[in-house]
Structure 1
Amino acid sequence: MSGEFIKSLLQDEDARNRVLVMDGLGECAEPEVLEHLLDVISRDPSEDVREAALRGLEGRATLDVLDTLLDEVRRQKRSRPPRQIVARLLGEHDDDRALDALVELVDDDDVYVQQPAIESLAHLNRPRLEALWVLIARSWEGTKWAELAQWALEDLRQRPERQDAASLALVEHRTSIALHDLAHEEPNVRRSAVRRLAFYRPSNLVDLLLGVLGDSNEHVRAVAISALANVGDERARMPIVNSMQHDPSDVVCAAAAQALASFPSKDVLRALKEAVAGRLSGSPHALASAALALGEYEDDEAVDGLVELSRNPSPIVRNTAADVLLSLNRSRQRSA
């Protein structure tokens, strides 16, 4: 998808549509996507859009991203979710500036911002945090955050002779926290938990993600579907098809349609074409995602579906289908 096309989508006056664009970009691995995410975070007036863009920074630990996160820490406080996301993302940056910012967030007025900051500090753990861990263990006594502080203190005491074992223990501990957070009342926490589990890949990951498809929040379900696509386990194929066909959320249907690109088969192609004519027909973003999935097939049936989508009244559907058709044509020319 071209940069100019993305910019045109981000000019939509409806913040809900810009959120959908951010959700889609957040799942893209292309390096050029980062520029759009950072620009939206710094300029968009909508907290919801900025929040969606911040979520898309997960796993993109660059200096530009760190600078943006530090700016967010200094930004005048508004809603809770963006600051929670910033606290979690700072844990991906092995940098003293990130550490300083997290220490500041541990002192935030909102305990739900303090908690992800504590978790990120445990991930970055440094000897200079020892006094802070003692304070956290006392002030959060009887909670999992006090347990995490005690673990961090023990981790510092074991260095360097047990560094490898401590690192493994940290992964296990963070996995345990993510499992616990799957039941959290805040959807953003559950969404982050899904991403963290996908990163740490416990042995029962597929079963866990399939369970999340029943979550009450559409964005949590959508992230679980994207994670299942990245795993590529065949057990996920039909549940994702089912989500595309029957989930009441257009966000989830779009994520499912795009995820099915990871499971190319005749059955999936048939399901995509049926959904394009039925469940997805009223959602431009879902139809655009279906067009991307159809691009995985080079047979005439998929091409016919793309040609039909290229005539859709929605610009995002027409342009996406045209881009996919062009890509397929170039692939065929190279193979000839």
Structure 2
Amino acid sequence: MKTIPLFLILLFASQSINAQQRTFKCNQFQNALKLVDEQKYDEGILMLKECEKLDSKDYSYPYEIALSYTYKEDYNAAISQLEKIKDYENIEDDYFQLLGNNYDYSGNSEKALEVYNKGLQKFPNSGRLYLEKGVIYESNKQYKTAIEMYEKGIQVASTYPSNYYRVSKIYLNSKDKLSGLIYGEIFVNLERTTERTKEISNLLYETYKKSIVLESKEKKELNFCKVIIDTQKYEKSKKYPFCMIFGKNFIMSIIEYNKFNLNNLSAVRSRFLKEYFKEDYKNYPNVLLNYQKIMEDNKIFDAYNHYIFQMGDKEAFNTWLKTNENDYKKFVDWYTSKENILKIDNKNVFISDQIK
């Protein structure tokens, strides 16, 4: 069996990686980026400025200079550099992100919001600019507005992972833990190999552990969310909150279990899919549950569950892996195939329906 890292490797393109795939008039550009990567910022900036003289219309050089100043925490210099190129025709949304960030870092969050909003006028589908707005509101403890920003970012850029990461952590620390569980699991599928991935893996497991009460055969409770409605007065044309549908099927799935652990959580989630896909999937579709159903049909869902929650109980995962290596290899082969990635678009994107 080939060696499999605990969290599967997935490469994410960055500004610098993309830059390395291009051809530049300045043949010292890559060397300049290397100096910056080595934290030799002043040397890198000098070399980038020489590059800028050779090709004054290329946006990459002044952007990287400003980024280097940001790394140096010389935010005023970064702002000055970015303001000089504000009229460049080839500016992307990352320009507004970096400029706004530097205003925020320098203590001017109002100006930062102004910059992000200006960027959104030009790039209305920028998930990263909604992310930055959300971060400012979250840092000011304006959680409702922060959630709105993150969820708007998810709506317009459904595969950009950072909005899922931020909003999941807010929800997981609220009464609506279910939304946090869904957002968090989607995030782990979009960003598969970072410290953030490990963090959310642990949070997901701990939240399930705290939300499922298995005290005895007679007493079983779920604490995923708080929804109180009068079913007699509720408009029949309206859908019930998704939390009610989820809870109804989940409570049916834990009846035979009296102990919470990684193996039982995996079994419960498999049982849940059977309950949910009897009928409720028609009126209450969910992109994550559909993805789970595909894995269940391919007989890899148990391995996926152990993978996705492994940071919550590393010992249990390693014990399971010793006797299930073939199943895990089958899962990894399937999961790392491009055709089997989680597919999200503006038609199936998940947005919480809970009242904030």
**Fold in common (TM above 0.5):** no
Normalising by structure 2, report the TM-score: 0.38
Higher helix share: 1
Normalising by structure 1, report the TM-score: 0.40
Higher Cα Rg: structure 1 or 2?
2
Query: With CA pairs under 8 Å and 6+ residues apart, which has the higher RCO, 1 or 2?
Result: 2
